[in-house]
Amino acid sequence: MSWIVRAARAVWEFVVGDDPLTAFGVVVALGATALIAGAGAAAWWVMPVAAMALLGLSLRRATR
Amino acid sequence: MSGQQIGLAISVFLACAVEAVEALTIVMAVGVTRSWRWALTGVGAGIAVLAVIVAALGPALTALPIDVLRVVVGGLLLVFGLQWLRKAVLRYAGLKARRDEDKEYASESDAARAATRAGAGFDAYSFTIAFKGVLLEGLEVAFIVLTFGASQHDIGLAVAAAAVAVATVVLAGVLVRAPLARVPENTMKFCVGVMLTSFGVFWGTEGAGASWPGGDAALLVIIPGVALASLAMVRWLRRAPARRALGDPA
């Protein structure tokens, strides 16, 4: 394995950790916020709701 | 000092203090058991590498346009914050073992005694364990210093808060001459998780182009809101019928 692959894997594990679905959910929530705000509607509520939903889902996966 | 700067200083201080307690346990174990000289040399090398990372990436991050910076930093802080919160909530609910510094110290000391020593000179074991301990525990702190500091354009304040936290923990370690087992690590980790998640939500939303009702004052609602919702999840997990303990206290 080249050092680039090893470095990329280390960065991935450092940032994303053992819960890639949460990281994916954060990216989706940021995209949804940008889309709603771009359409001129209030979008401030998206991230708080998404964050707590992602935490709840992550806890549920961890305890199943 | 603005509200966001106070939040920055508290978050960095708590995160750094928690990681410094964990690193102190490792360094004390190899220092007492084998060689203080090479353990402290490892600590110095670890701190030097962390300083290079912050010095190299700090200016690069602050050069980004503010909206790009905030959406990237917000997303990263949110991913990190949710990880810290998840572990802290699971520990509060009794579903994950809490870290025990006395146990970690005994385990590190046993491993240090068992490791062979080549001679009276350079002790590679003490150096490497102390270096890795400081670097690995410090990486998350360096990340938090960089992201919070860059978003506020105040990396100096973040570095100062980190330095005060390390100095406090080291002083406490010198005074008690033992691992800091009585530090409420899970409570501190919970607070850090709440702060990272809250600032991640706040900056991510602003970076994505939305505006908060009330501007910066929205943080006064977001932070307690995240804390209360997380505590509600602790209660929910405590009442859940199918509880099972999870390992890995790290």
Write out pLDDT tens, residues B125-156: 999 999 999 998 888 888 888 888 888 888 88
Nearest C-alpha of chain A: how many angstroms from B119?
A: 33
The residue type of B198 is S
Residue A54 within any structural domain of the chain: yes
A55 touches B: beta carbon within 8 Å: yes
pLDDT of residue B201: 96
- Inspect the interface and report whether the beta carbons of A63 and B74 lie closer than 8 Å: no
Give the tokens for residue B3. Answer: 């509200």
B226 interfacial to chain A (CB closer than 8 Å): yes
- Subunit contact A33:B79, Cβ cutoff 8 A: no
The pLDDT of residue B244 = 55
Q: What is the pLDDT of residue B250?
A: 53
Low-confidence stretches of chain B (pLDDT beneath 70): 117-120, 241-250
At B156, give phi and psi (nearest 5°): -60, -45
pLDDT of residue B64: 82
What residue spans define the domains of chain B? 3-239
Helices and strands, number each (H, E), in chain A: 3, 0
Tell me the shortest Cα–Cα distance from A3 to chain B, in angstroms.
18
pLDDT at position B139: 86
Yes or no: say if B139 and B36 are a contact pair by the CB < 8 Å rule: no
Q: What's residue B118's pLDDT?
A: 61
Nearest CA to B32 out of B113, B101, B135 is that of B113
Q: Is A58 at the interface with chain B, CB within 8 A?
A: yes
Closest of B193, B237, B205 to residue B79, by C-alpha: B193
pLDDT digits (tens, 9 = 90+) for B77-113: 999 999 999 999 999 998 888 777 788 888 888 888 8
Radius of gyration of chain B (CA): 19
Stretch (H or E) spanning B61: helix B36-62
Judge whether A40 lies within some domain.
yes
Q: Does B201 touch chain A (CB under 8 A)?
A: yes
Is B218 close to A56, i.e. CB distance below 8 A? no
Give A40's pLDDT tier (boundaries 50, 70, 90). very high
Instruction: Pick the residue from chain A with its C-alpha nearest to B204.
Output: A30
Q: What is the pLDDT of residue B131?
A: 94
Residue A8 lies in a domain: no
Residues 16-45 of A with CB under 8 A from B: 16-17, 19, 22-23, 26-27, 29-31, 33-34, 36-38, 42-44
Residues of B in contact with A36 (CB under 8 A): 210
Range of the domain at A52: 18-63
pLDDT value, residue B1: 74
Whole-angstrom Cα distance, residue A12 to residue A3? 14
Interface predicted TM-score (ipTM) of this complex, two decimals: 0.91
Q: Select, from the ranges A17-21, A53-57, B23-27, B103-107, the one with the highest average predicted confidence (pLDDT).
A: A53-57
Pairwise CA distance, residues B25 & B65, whole Å: 40
Domain count, chain A: 1
Asked if the C-beta of B246 comes within 8 angstroms of chain A's C-beta atoms, the answer is yes
Residue length, chain A? 64
* A3 assigned to some structural domain: no
Is A13 part of any domain?
no
Inter-residue long-range contacts of B165-173, CB under 8 Å, 24+ positions, other chains counted = B165/B12, B165/B13, B165/B14, B165/B15, B165/B16, B165/B17, B165/B20, B166/B16, B166/B20, B168/B17, B169/B17, B169/B20, B169/B21, B169/B24, B170/B20, B170/B24, B173/B24, B173/B28
- List of chain B residues whose C-beta atoms are within 8 Å of the C-beta of residue A31: 208
pLDDT at B197 (0 to 100): 95
Please name the residue of chain A whose CA is at the shortest distance from the CA of residue B212. A44
Q: What is the pLDDT of residue B243?
A: 55
Report chain A residues whose CB lies below 8 A from the CB of B218: 44
Q: Does B197 touch chain A (CB under 8 A)?
A: yes
Q: Residue A1: its pLDDT value, please?
A: 64
CB B148 within 8 A of CB B11: yes
